[in-house]
Amino acid sequence: MGPHRLRFHLVDSAGSWSARQRQRRAEWLTRTFPDLADMHVVDLGGRLGTWTRASVRPARVHVVNLEAPPAEVPDWAYIDRADACDLPERIARNRYDLVYSNSVLEHVGGHERRLRFADAVHTLAERHWVQTPYRYFPIEPHWIAPGMQFLPVRLRTAVAQRWPLGHKPTRTHDAALHQVLWTELLDRSQMRHYFPDSRLLVERVAGLPKSLIAVRTP
């Protein structure tokens, strides 16, 4: 089996190991917020596909992402092209039932921007679900590379450029460096700092912490 086929089976296919993990996490979300189907949810840094595939879909979803919105958006969703760490007033003044974010916090660009992201989470709603991969899980989740997150930047860049299981193929050193510098996995101390009044849930694989989820359910 070639590396791209292997990644497809591990991460990208609908029946992949990673897809099953996401499904279990979605079920955890609905157990945590049993009224999710009636909520107005803002998804910071997410994509519409998360909710079109969801077994339980909120009544309304507002997706905020730096990417251009898709051509077609269902009537239960609204998509804004904006920076979750620097929300325009038209979004910042809104109030929602729940702030949701999945695997975004590790990509926002450093401590100061993570503080601003957390401030947006706390401002937009009383309830939140903010998930991020755990730094000390032995497999780096974006490249599926053992221990990659513990290497110096120079070596991480070399891995990103050559490792065949990466999430975005990179052919140049600069492109690989860009991906590496925009990926910074977090640990428990950081998550508790950004979300001091939240419960910190731990998603485990084979008994090992794989991701951290800051949850507030007042």
Q: What is the pLDDT of residue 214?
A: 98
Q: Where are the domains of the chain?
A: 3-139+187-216, 142-184
| Higher per-residue pLDDT: 92 or 9 | 92
Nearest to 37 by CA among 98, 79, 126: 98
| Higher per-residue pLDDT: 3 or 91 | 91
Q: What is the pLDDT of residue 155?
A: 97
Nearest to 196 by CA among 110, 101, 128: 128
Residue 132 pLDDT class (50, 70, 90 cuts): very high
Residue 144 has pLDDT above 80, yes or no: yes
Residue 140, token pair as written in the block: 């780096």
Query: Could you read off the pLDDT of 31-80 as tens digits, one per residue?
Result: 999 999 999 999 999 999 999 999 999 999 999 999 998 989 999 999 99
Nearest to 93 by CA among 104, 80, 74: 80
Spell out the residues 6+ positions from residue 155 whose beta carbon is closer than 8 angstroms to its own. Answer: none
Question: Distance (Å, rounded) from C-alpha 51 to C-alpha 32?
Answer: 17
DSSP letters spanning 38-88: G-EEEEET--THHHHS-SS--SEEEEEESSPPPS---TTEEEEE--TTS--
Residue 216, token pair as written in the block: 């507030």
Query: Could you read off the pLDDT of 198-212 as tens digits, one per residue?
Result: 999 999 999 999 999
pTM of the model: 0.91
Q: What angle do CA 35, 37, 42 make, to 5 degrees?
A: 95
Q: What is the pLDDT of residue 7?
A: 54
Query: Under CATH, to which class is 3-139+187-216 assigned?
Result: alpha beta
